[in-house]
Amino acid sequence: MTKKKFKDQFITYGIVIALYLIMEILMKTGNLSSHLKGLLVPMTYYAVIAVALNLCVGILGELSIGHCGFMCIGAFASAVFSKLTQNTLPAAPRFFLAFVVGIAFAALFGFLIGIPVLRLKGDYLAIVTLAFGEIIKNVINAIYFGVDSKGPHISLNNVMDLGMEPDGQVIINGAMGITGTPRDANFTIAIVVLLLSLFVVLNLMNSRDGRAIMAVRDNSIAAESAGINVTKYKMLAFTISAAIAGAAGVLFSHNITSLTATSQYFGYNASIMILVYVVLGGIGNIRGSVIAAAILYLLPEMLRGLNTYRMLIYSIVLIAMMLFNWAPAAIEWREKVAHKFIKRNA
Amino acid sequence: MKKMKSVISLLAASALLAGTIAGCGGNAGGNTASTGESTATESSASGATFKIGSIGPLTGGAAAYGLAVVNSVELAVNEINANGGINGYQVEMKGEDDELNAEKSVNAYNTLKDWGMQFLVGSTTSACSLAVSENTHEDNMFQLTPSASAADCVAYDNVFRVCFSDPNQGLASAQYIGSHKLASKVAIIYDSSDVYSSGIYQTFAQEAVNQGFDVVSAEAFTADSKTDFSVQLQKAKDAGAELLFLPIYYTEASLILTQANTMGYAPIFFGVDGMDGILTVENFDTSLAEGLMLLTPFAADATDDLTVNYVKNYKEKYGETPNQFGADAYDAVYIIKQCLEEAGATPDMSVSDLCEAVKGKIVTITASGLTSDTMTWDASGEPNKEPKAVVIKDGAYVTAE
């Protein structure tokens, strides 16, 4: 790895760790409002899924607008696991295994969905991922799953069809989802997950596999003629991306006690929200995704003082930020200002 | 170029940090002032006030429910303040938006906590209330939800509700149909993506067996496909159902009634409290709702003084006819008031002490309000009140026999 790349990675980790330390110090000294304390974990898992999506959109170059579907799978798989083992396992190993289960399921579905989806390109791929995201959400919405002394029961109709013994426990109750998942997630674990996913993605980018993936993105015909297995690398990146999204889902389901597969959390609107984080932060810029996710998640919450106008103001701020960051004239102006600034200081 | 990039990234990073820190400072300190349009009243002369928070979806598709709740809480608080407050102390209220999102609902709860909330009238919807109850339980804050009806919402001992639970509504509807022998073949259309609707459906279908009528068809729709009901209606018609049970909200129900009429299918329609409001749907031919039966705790055109006053004041202030969500929230504030008066509580008590005081009293009082003349609670958090069955005649609710 070159020195510059190393420095670049170091800044990214540094930002996350600095943010973590500041928040922890504020929390320990009692200077953090409970509002902000409650925002820390969601902010972090949205940053995690933004990193996951950036791997798919920025590094692999395929527009996915169904990534919340993988988050949904991770959330439900791990919540079912935690509910089942709630009384038999202590919290720490249970939560660790919940991560393993959530990530494994999300990766498996990422792999399976990748097989048909990655045969497509561009807009077609985007539309198909959107459809898969919705399918995942709707199927989970229809599942009834319970466990009793005779083992697991599953139905797609209603709770009566499960035919449960009286001692049974309904785990996924259709649209009512899963309630009473243990709240194992906290800010420290969330930050560790974020750092690990950053580590995975940044190292992948700088590895042989990562360069192959980016070669496929830039010109798949040239890459193929150079002997790169296009399908393999596409699948690799897509599956890793789905797995990281699954990890975000595990944090999600263990931070809130009522988990429902509704469109507010896992629909295409939510997926597009994540895409907004990625685009604002810069496609292919992993650090940018983390910063953009944090800012954009905090913004509507910080605007609560504006009451009913806050969603309107939020949209306007979003437009302004997008223009300031990415309009060519704005970039030029920023460069001029930065140039002057450096000169004066030199 | 390289140098400049790193300068920019450093700037961005520090801006982010500065932003968050400024954010927390502002939040910790700036909430004592009672600004904002939801904050109803000024502090009384002594400075000590009771603080009631309320949470609901104030933006987005379900805003009607959240606004009804928050507005009604404000209305009740203003009335109480005009009449001398609770135990001589004035009451403040603040409403926060949760966008129908459980995650945001917890955020809203934390915001209200920073503001100094002592009692929570919320959250408006089931999933949100469920998520928030985990936090109120941790803080031991008294939570009285006006309208979260899912069974698990009141699982903790500090959470009570004003409305009927979903299982209760399903049970009461099935018993009513069974005991009045309204039909022997019943069809159901419900929203499988909605907690409220599928919850009622489940208990209704389970109880139907005991009540001696058959559920001949049970068809679902989801939030993504709630405009065309011809398939579901056709199935109900083919199965020969004499009664169509609709445990859904009135907007979809109005479409079902219109489409059934077009098909020439005229069973008895039977709804639950979400049906309240059907007469106010725009461009809906209310003559189609003739004979529609519903179990509801509140009817906006009831003639008792309390309802008439409430509806009049609400219309004056907010320009709309209130629905049962609002009525439940209005009652919730008065229930808290009654408990506080019985307990002789003062605002300087801690949140946890206030919770214990109110919790101790709510199981002993008999409250009377918009949604029932006699409401009592037991420690489970469920209200005991009689469901009112009404039937629509000549475009108005009439008490059914």
Structure tokens at B358: 């109110």
* B178, B206 contact by CB (below 8 A): no
**Min distance B4 CA to chain A CA atoms (Å):** 7
Residues of A in contact with B103 (CB under 8 A): 42, 255-256, 265
* B147, B163 contact by CB (below 8 A): yes
Which of B 1-60 lie inside 8 A of A, CB atoms? 2-4, 6-10, 12-13, 16-17, 19-21, 23-28, 30, 35-38, 58-59
pLDDT reported for residue B374: 87
Structure tokens at A98: 């919940």
CB atoms B198 and A176 under 8 Å: yes
CB atoms A291 and B16 under 8 Å: yes
Residues of B in contact with A158 (CB under 8 A): 198, 201-202, 205, 218
**Min distance B114 CA to chain A CA atoms (Å):** 6
Which of B 87-116 lie inside 8 A of A, CB atoms? 96-97, 99-103, 106-111, 113-114
Would you say the C-alpha torsion B200, B205, B206, B210 has a positive or negative sign?
A: positive
Selecting from A35, A180, A287 the residue whose C-beta is nearest the C-beta of B110 gives: A35
**Min distance A5 CA to chain B CA atoms (Å):** 12
Structure tokens at A251: 């944090």
pTM of the model: 0.83
Which DSSP state fits A57? I
> How many H-runs (helices) and E-runs (strands) does chain A carry?
14, 5
* Ranges under pLDDT 70 in chain A: 1, 307, 345-346
**Min distance B37 CA to chain A CA atoms (Å):** 7
> How many H-runs (helices) and E-runs (strands) does chain B carry?
11, 14
Q: Of A198, A238, A232, give the one whose Cα is nearest residue A212.
A: A232
Q: How far apart are alpha carbons B335 and A197 in whole angstroms?
A: 50
Residue A163, Ramachandran bin (φ over 0: left; ψ between -120 and 50: alpha; else beta): left
Structure tokens at B124: 């408006």
Q: How far apart are alpha carbons A117 and B212 in whole angstroms?
A: 51
Structure tokens at B261: 């009429």
Which residue ranges form the domains of chain B, and what is each CATH number? 26-164+303-385 (3.40.50.2300), 167-296+390-399 (3.40.50.2300)
pLDDT tens digits for A50-68? Answer: 999 999 999 999 999 989 9
**Min distance A39 CA to chain B CA atoms (Å):** 7
Residues of B in contact with A298 (CB under 8 A): 19-20, 23
CB atoms A158 and B205 under 8 Å: yes
**Min distance A78 CA to chain B CA atoms (Å):** 18
CB atoms B113 and A35 under 8 Å: yes
CB atoms A180 and B16 under 8 Å: no
Q: Of B124, B106, B113, give the one whose Cα is nearest residue B60.
A: B124
Does the CB of B223 have a partner CB in chain A at under 8 Å? yes
Burial (CB count <10 Å: 0-12, 13-18, 19+), residue B67: buried
Residues of A in contact with B152 (CB under 8 A): 179-180, 258
CB atoms A342 and B7 under 8 Å: yes
A-interface mutation test, from B103, B204, B351, most A Cβ less than 10 A away: B103
pLDDT tens digits for B101-137? Answer: 888 999 999 999 999 999 999 899 888 998 999 999 9
Q: How far apart are alpha carbons B199 and A268 in whole angstroms?
A: 26
**Min distance B32 CA to chain A CA atoms (Å):** 12
**Min distance A345 CA to chain B CA atoms (Å):** 12
Contacts of residue B293, defined as CB under 8 A and 6 or more positions apart, other chains included, come to B182, B268, B269, B270, B271, B389, B390, B391, B392, B400
Selecting from B97, B109, B202 the residue whose C-beta is nearest the C-beta of A159 gives: B202
* B330, B267 contact by CB (below 8 A): no
CB atoms A302 and B23 under 8 Å: yes
**Min distance A12 CA to chain B CA atoms (Å):** 9
* A153, A147 contact by CB (below 8 A): yes
Torsion, CA B85, CA B86, CA B90, CA B92, rounded to 10 = -110
Strand stretches in A113-209, DSSP E: 144-148, 151-155, 169-173, 178-179
CB atoms A175 and B192 under 8 Å: yes
Residues of B in contact with A180 (CB under 8 A): 152, 155
Residues of B in contact with A312 (CB under 8 A): none
CB atoms B30 and A305 under 8 Å: yes
Torsion, CA B226, CA B232, CA B233, CA B234, rounded to 10 = 140
Residues of A in contact with B35 (CB under 8 A): 305
CB atoms B130 and A179 under 8 Å: yes
Q: Which residue of A has its CA nearest to B196?
A: A176
* Total CB pairs under 8 A between chain A and B: 159
Would you say the C-alpha torsion A192, A194, A198, A200 has a positive or negative sign?
A: positive
Burial (CB count <10 Å: 0-12, 13-18, 19+), residue B365: middle
B-interface mutation test, from A29, A35, A136, A277, most B Cβ less than 10 A away: A35
Residues of A in contact with B138 (CB under 8 A): none
* B99, B110 contact by CB (below 8 A): no
Report ipTM (2 d.p.): 0.85
CB atoms A18 and B17 under 8 Å: yes
* A277, A50 contact by CB (below 8 A): yes
Answer whether CATH 1.10.3470 is correct for domain A41-302.
Answer: yes
Selecting from B20, B103, B218 the residue whose C-beta is nearest the C-beta of A42 gives: B103
CB atoms B222 and A138 under 8 Å: yes
Domain ranges of chain A: 41-302
Q: Of A213, A274, A218, give the one whose Cα is nearest residue A238.
A: A213
Q: How far apart are alpha carbons B270 and B300 in whole angstroms?
A: 19
What is the number of other CB atoms lying within 10 angstroms of the CB of residue A318? 15
Does the CB of B131 have a partner CB in chain A at under 8 Å? yes
* A156, A144 contact by CB (below 8 A): yes
Burial (CB count <10 Å: 0-12, 13-18, 19+), residue A259: buried
pLDDT tens digits for B127-152? Answer: 899 899 999 999 999 999 998 888 88
Q: Of B211, B189, B206, give the one whose Cα is nearest residue B271.
A: B189
Residues of A in contact with B16 (CB under 8 A): 15, 19, 291, 294-295
Which DSSP state fits B367? B
* Ranges under pLDDT 70 in chain B: 1-47, 401
**Min distance A176 CA to chain B CA atoms (Å):** 5
CB atoms B100 and A264 under 8 Å: yes
